[in-house]
C-alpha cells in the first residue's frame, strides 16, 4: 500500500562478522530467536517477553507498529500516520537501544525517516525515498544509537514532543557521522551533525561512567584501535553520549572515573582518527 509512514531502519552491528565466524545454528537459535526476538518483543510491546519461541507474528500482533527482517537489517514502521503510532515507534527505538547498550555482543544503529512509501509485505516490497534516507542515515552514524532524518524531524514540528521527552525519547545532539572525506582518506574522518537523536539514557540503570569495551576489558587496546578504528570510535562515541546526556549517571558524581577513561583513550584516538575542523571529539 502506498501511503505515508515513519520508518526506522535498524542495523544489527557486528552481525555479518558473527555470521561469518560462528556456527549458523548458534546464530539462528541463540542470537536471533532467543535473544534478538525477545529484546524486540520487550521493546515493541514494552512488557516482559513470553517464555519460549516468539514468532514474527507475535512481534507484530496487537501493536501500532509493523516490521520486516532481512538478515542484519530490521525495518520497524508505523501502521498509521498518527501521533500515537509515531510516539510508539520512537519509544520502541529508545527501548531497543537501551536494552542492548550495556550488554556485550549485539548492538543496534538506527536511522528514522518519514514520507510516502510503497509497502507490500506479501511481495516483500518496501520502496520509497524515506527507506533510502533512513538507510543512509543509519549507515553514516559512528556509534550505536539512533537519529532522525530531516523528514522525520519536520514531521514532528507540529507535535508537542518537547513536552513529553520520556514518551518521545528525543534530544538535540551533535551526532557523530562519517564525513564524505572518509572516502578519500586512509583514515576514518568524522564530523558532527546537529540533529534529533534517540535518548536511550532515560532507561533505568545503575550509575556508571563507562560502558566497557568487552567482558574483560574497560577500553580497547592500541592494536584494536589500529585494526578496527571504526568499531572503537563507535564505542567511544556511545560512551561520550552516555556521559554527556545521562542525568542519572552525571548526578552520581562519576567525573573522576570518566577522566581516567578519557586519558586512556586520547592518545589512541589521536593516532587513528582524522577529524574535520568543525568536529571536536571531546567537545571541549
What residue segments make up the domains of the chain, in order of their start? 2-200
pLDDT at 282: 42
Are 238 and 153 in contact by the 8 Å Cβ rule? The answer is: no
pLDDT at 278: 41
Q: At the topology level of CATH, where does 2-200 sit?
A: Alpha-Beta Plaits (3.30.70)
Cα first-last separation, the chain:
48
Q: In the chain, which stretches have pLDDT less than 50?
A: 276-284
pLDDT at 205: 85
Torsions phi, psi for 84 (to 5 deg):
-65, -40
Torsions phi, psi for 33 (to 5 deg):
-80, -45
pLDDT at 1: 77
pTM across the whole model? 0.91
Q: Which three cell numbers stand for residue 133?
A: 534516507
pLDDT at 86: 94
pLDDT at 203: 86
pLDDT at 10: 97
pLDDT at 280: 47
* DSSP element (H, E) containing 189: strand 188-198
User: For 138-159, how does the pLDDT look when each residue is reduced to its tens digit (9 = 90+)?
Assistant: 999 999 999 999 999 999 887 7
Amino acid at each position: 500500500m502506498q501511503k505515508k509512514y515513519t520508518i526506522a531502519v535498524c542495523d544489527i552491528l557486528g552481525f555479518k562478522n558473527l555470521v561469518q565466524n560462528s556456527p549458523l545454528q548458534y546464530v539462528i537459535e541463540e542470537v536471533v530467536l532467543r535473544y534478538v526476538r525477545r529484546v524486540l518483543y520487550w521493546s515493541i510491546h514494552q512488557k516482559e517477553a513470553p517464555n519460549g519461541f516468539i514468532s514474527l507474528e507475535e512481534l507484530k500482533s496487537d501493536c501500532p507498529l509493523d516490521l520486516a527482517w532481512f538478515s542484519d537489517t530490521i525495518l520497524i514502521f508505523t501502521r498509521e500516520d498518527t501521533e500515537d503510532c509515531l510516539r510508539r515507534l520512537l519509544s520502541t527505538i529508545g527501548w531497543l537501544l537501551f536494552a542492548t547498550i550495556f550488554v556485550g555482543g549485539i548492538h543496534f544503529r538506527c536511522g528514522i525517516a518519514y514520507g510516502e512509501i510503497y509497502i507490500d509485505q506479501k511481495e516483500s516490497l518496501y520502496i520509497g525515498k524515506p527507506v533510502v534516507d533512513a538507510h543512509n542515515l543509519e549507515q553514516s552514524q559512528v556509534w550505536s544509537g539512533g537519529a532522525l532524518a530531516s523528514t522525520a524531524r519536520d514531521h514532528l514540528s507540529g507535535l508537542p514532543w518537547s513536552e513529553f521527552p520520556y514518551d518521545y525519547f528525543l534530544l538535540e545532539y551533535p551526532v557523530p557521522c562519517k564525513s564524505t572525506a572518509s572516502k578519500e582518506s586512509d583514515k576514518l574522518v568524522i564530523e558532527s551533525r546537529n540533529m534529533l537523536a534517540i535518548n536511550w539514557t532515560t532507561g533505568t540503570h545503575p550509575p556508571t561512567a563507562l560502558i566497557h569495551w568487552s567482558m574483560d576489558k574497560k577500553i580497547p587496546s592500541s592494536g584494536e584501535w589500529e585494526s578496527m578504528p571504526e568499531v572503537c570510535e563507535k564505542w567511544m562515541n556511545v560512551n561520550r553520549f552516555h556521559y554527556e546526556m545521562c542525568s542519572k549517571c552525571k548526578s552520581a558524581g562519576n567525573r573522576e572515573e570518566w577522566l581516567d577513561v578519557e586519558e586512556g583513550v586520547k592518545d589512541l584516538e589521536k593516532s587513528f582518527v582524522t577529524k574535520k575542523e568543525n568536529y571536536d571529539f571531546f567537545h571541549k
